[in-house]
Amino acid sequence: MLVTDINGAQKQRRNGGNMKQSSDLSRMLRQIDRKSYPAYKQLRDEYQFPSYVLSIDHVQGDPFAAPSKVSIHIKGKQAAFPKGLYRLPCQKTALEDTLLREMGKQLRKVSFQAKGSGKSGLMAVSNPGQEVLERSGCQLAKETGDVVVRMEIGFPANGRSINARELEKILFELLPRCVNKSLFYTALDADQLRETAELAEDQDAVRRMLAERRLVAFVANGAVLPRESGVSSRPMKQAVAFQSPPSMEVELTLPNRGVIRGMGIPQGVTLIVGGGYHGKSTLLKALELGIYNHIAGDGREFVITDRTAVKLRAEDGRSVKDVDISLFINNLPNGKDTVRFCTEDASGSTSQAANMMEAMEAASRVFLIDEDTSATNFMIRDELMQRVVHRDVEPITPYIERVRELYETFGISTVLVAGSSGSYFHKADCIVQMNHYVPADITEFAKKEAEEFPVLEEAPASIQPSFERKFGQNRKLAGSDRIKMKTMGMDGISIDRETIDLRYVEQLADPEQLAMLAHLVKYAELHVFDGRRTMAQVVDILEEKLEKLGFGGICGEKNVGTGLAMPRRQEIFACLNRYRRL
């Protein structure tokens, strides 16, 4: 799927052109030693080392700037990874992830061993978390087995003068040692690589089985859901292992692991209840991130969720452009149109309604909701409130009145965490109580207790929402090649000084996904938006481009660096929908 070449010229040279040798690089380093730092730019080229090609792709402007970009290119015959390790797309991503982690481990041992000012001596690749994501940092060509690893190196300096001896130490001693220990099959643990490929295949098998079993998620017995801390996604030590209630336990037969058992969450409406601190939100958080595969030892390797599932919440203050929220909100006192609803400052209820409709537009089949992060008036209106404030003066049709319709008419399931209101007992197909992190199926008991309480008003007539939003023509932004894009951690991205707030798009797992979203927005603005395409058609084009050409198809091959990771379709939608300039 992914293109492994930096640009056409380099591709031609790797395929037999007059490539420079490592000895040429050594000679050039001696010539520029102690010169002004910009002389390092003369090194941009490709150099043949004994077992790989070193490409110096970008040289930093000074020792205090962002580190230089280099890439390692290894022919498939030399890397020698058996094709059985990357036969499936999920296995290929898992192998790339493994190589990147191994390279990172080796680089951490030698980073900053070369001395100098600023970032001199820094050596780093992407630093993956617990999720296995497709990244630009390591790419393996499916057909040839060629491997490309992109990394950053702080070219050494004394003050702002070149310290070529230290760079020579990096490129001819430290880097080759790391490459040889991490990017060749013979240097790695063959059993571990096989287990990684088998785990990826098994995880993919569970994901396929969800629809066959009419499930939205699966949580394996023995899974560890609690995390180490609020700032660490590693598994908590001595945590209570997950154990499915007998009535919800399902058995799956996997290609490699064989039979596993765990809790199957059925399609429909599932309620997760329980006292505070008993594990409700912990379970929901695991389901949120179950859209991704996880590394061995994470504890959530077999917490698998429908890959279209979306966590939804209120998002006060977000912008909304031409979204049909009439399924939930009508007859606003100010007369504002709710079929083409627009605002620069959405309330809790209107933002949550917009988030849901946008998720439907993105073809999501599962909504994940926690009442703690929802607008109360959007989720529920109790009996007393209905008696005091009549429907004809209330513009909001609460979610409880639409939750059955969403499933029965639109095929969208809901998994809802509720701790304070039992009104959803009437609507739920399945009710799970968490007690000291142990789930119990209390559906029958809760339904019986609910019989003594009145059923709230039924929803008004169904409405077929419109998803035909079209956006203005693409903008030829001035100096488009020089548009500045910045990632602000997990909070958002900035494009041409326009900030897109992504703090509440909670299934983004890595800042590198946000970096890729910035490139996708820029590409859509320059090449896709034309005033005729709907949002879904725009995202279809972006996904097709990614499928055919990979990161380079969107960024341009020369701009593919170390720090990009693939987002889902749902997060592409979410990002574009929060782009206020549209």
Render pLDDT for 302-314 as a digit per residue (tens, 0 to 9). Answer: 999 999 999 999 9
Show the DSSP H helices in 493-568 as ranges: 511-523, 535-549, 551-555
Per-residue pLDDT reduced to its tens digit, 369-423: 999 999 999 999 877 777 777 777 789 999 999 999 999 999 999 999 998 888 9
Please provide the DSSP assignment of 388-426 as one string: HS-GGG--B--GGGTHHHHHHHH--EEEEE-SS--GGGG
Q: What is the mean pLDDT of the chain?
A: 92
Distance CA 421, CA 378 (A): 13
- pLDDT(8) > 60: no
- From 112-121, 394-403, 421-430, 456-465, the region with the lowest mean pLDDT: 456-465
Distance CA 90, CA 572 (A): 21
**577 Ramachandran zone, left/alpha/beta (phi>0; psi -120 to 50):** alpha
pLDDT on residue 53: 98
- From 11-15, 505-509, 513-517, the region with the lowest mean pLDDT: 11-15
Phi, psi of 117 (to 5 degrees): -90, 160
Sheet with 366-370, strands from edge to edge, namely 310-312, 366-370, 413-417, 269-274, 430-435, 438-441
- pLDDT(7) > 70: no
Which of 60, 36, 85 shows the shortest CA–CA distance to 153? 60
- The proportion of the chain whose per-residue pLDDT surpasses 90, expressed as a percent, equals 83
Element spanning 280, H or E: helix 280-288
Per-residue pLDDT reduced to its tens digit, 256-283: 999 999 999 999 999 999 999 999 999 9
- From 1-5, 477-481, 555-559, the region with the lowest mean pLDDT: 1-5
Per-residue pLDDT reduced to its tens digit, 18-51: 799 999 999 999 999 999 999 999 999 999 999 9
Distance CA 302, CA 215 (A): 14
pLDDT on residue 474: 60
Which of 311, 257, 260, 261 shows the shortest CA–CA distance to 283? 311
Distance CA 102, CA 250 (A): 36
pLDDT on residue 1: 39
How many CB atoms are located within 10 Å of the residue 464 CB?
A: 10
pLDDT on residue 17: 59
pLDDT on residue 92: 98
- pLDDT(335) > 90: no
- The proportion of the chain whose per-residue pLDDT surpasses 70, expressed as a percent, equals 95
pLDDT on residue 241: 97
pLDDT on residue 150: 97
pLDDT on residue 282: 97
Mean pLDDT for the stretch of residues 352-368: 97
Mean pLDDT for the stretch of residues 450-456: 82
Residues 19, 47: contact at Cβ < 8 Å? yes
Per-residue pLDDT reduced to its tens digit, 522-547: 999 889 988 889 999 999 999 999 99
- From 148-152, 231-235, 483-487, the region with the lowest mean pLDDT: 483-487
- pLDDT(293) > 50: yes
pLDDT on residue 473: 64
Top pLDDT among 244 and 497 is at 244
Distance CA 513, CA 493 (A): 10
pLDDT on residue 4: 41
- pLDDT(480) > 70: no
- pLDDT(189) > 80: yes
Where is mean pLDDT largest: 163-177, 331-345, 451-465?
163-177
Q: Give the type of residue at 69.
A: K
pLDDT on residue 6: 36
The band of 558, judged by pLDDT with boundaries at 50, 70 and 90, is confident
Phi, psi of 351 (to 5 degrees): -70, -40
- pLDDT(12) > 60: no
